[in-house]
Chain A
Amino acid sequence: GAGVSQSPSNKVTEKGKDVELRCDPISGHTALYWYRQSLGQGLEFLIYFQGNSAPDKSGLPSDRFSAERTGGSVSTLTIQRTQQEDSAVYLCASSPSGVGLDTQYFGPGTRLTVL
Chain B
Amino acid sequence: DAKTTQPPSMDCAEGRAANLPCNHSTISGNEYVYWYRQIHSQGPQYIIHGLKNNETNEMASLIITEDRKSSTLILPHATLRDTAVYYCIVRAYSGAGSYQLTFGKGTKLSVIP
Contacts and interface: CB of A to CB of B under 8 A. Distances in A.
Contact of A42 (B32, B46, B103): B103
A26 B106 CA distance: 26
In the complex, which range does the number of interface residues on chain A fall in? Answer: 20 to 34
Given A106-B44, A106-B45, A42 B105 contact: yes
A48 B93 CA distance: 12
In the complex, which range does the number of interface residues on chain B fall in? Answer: 20 to 34
A64 to B, nearest CB: 21
B40 to A, nearest CB: 11
Interface stretch (A12-20, A67-75, A76-84, A97-105): A97-105
Interface of A: 4, 31, 33, 35, 41-45, 48, 50, 55-56, 58-59, 91, 93, 95, 98-101, 103-109
